[in-house]
Structure 1
Amino acid sequence: MLHRCSFQSADNHETMSLEELPVSQNLLCFLYHSQIAPDAPVSCVADIVKTARSFNQQHDITGMLIFDGMRFAQYIEGPEQAMEGLIARITEDPRHCQVVPMLHAQLQGVRRFARWSMAYAFVDEQEPVDELAALPAQAALQHFVQMQPMLDIA
């Protein structure tokens, strides 16, 4: 299901940069959560982040990945064609399982993570991802965006 999403943070926290694309370029956003695969070492997360940053920078995709030691939550935004290919690769990646797409929509408004090809934060408790997973699409997105100022983002 395609949801429309509008992005205005409650505290008007700006994450825009000069490189921000106008919405007229048909940008998509995607939010999901998943679990690290039972046979995947935790060390694979560093490779995921490194690969994502390189790929995303080349394809004008921005976003944030949160990992709690067991589960991932990721939001990405970018041009439709590049995003559709990336979403397919994400859902098929054997390093994680139980991939649950929460939001797959056209981006309305400005990018939320324009400064980062892939912001990454490790959280040492499971509550943030658990809370996100329990919410409907729009509320999950708002929760994800509101977590940003509280995270130690690399």
Structure 2
Amino acid sequence: MAIAARDGADRAEQLIALTERLSTLMAEEIEAHKENRLDASSRDWAEKEKLAHAYRFEIASIRENPSLLAEASQGQKEELKTKVEAFGKLAERHAKALAASKEVTEGIVRAITEEVATSRAAPAGYGRAGAITAPKSSAAHSGIATNLKI
């Protein structure tokens, strides 16, 4: 999805506004993750997706063809550069927040899986020599499937 701009100045203004809005949404999501509201990523999903696609497309277009901003003033270009740099730092923080949430969620799932497997462990039995054998792990038979490769 491309920005429908009249000229470079209009493109710069729209891209500045787009970057600001996307930054606001990401900052809100980061705060929600800090407050352990793990459903934060699903809020405003459609808007974030549209903005992210437009942002990625516009930045790639400008990198490929810098003349798209030819009519933009030096002030607009500097403001856009500042906003894009700030957005990059925010995106890094956002990625860290998502990774932390993922780690917490995986830890909870792993703990539940281990607890279920432990509670369903087979009883100890006797081996060929008459000695008590340790129960075999029944994690594969616990009824809960986990994917630890995510």
When normalised by structure 1's length, the TM-score is 0.22
When normalised by structure 2's length, the TM-score is 0.23
| Larger gyration radius, structure 1 or structure 2 | 2
Higher-helix-fraction structure: 2
Higher-strand-fraction structure: 1
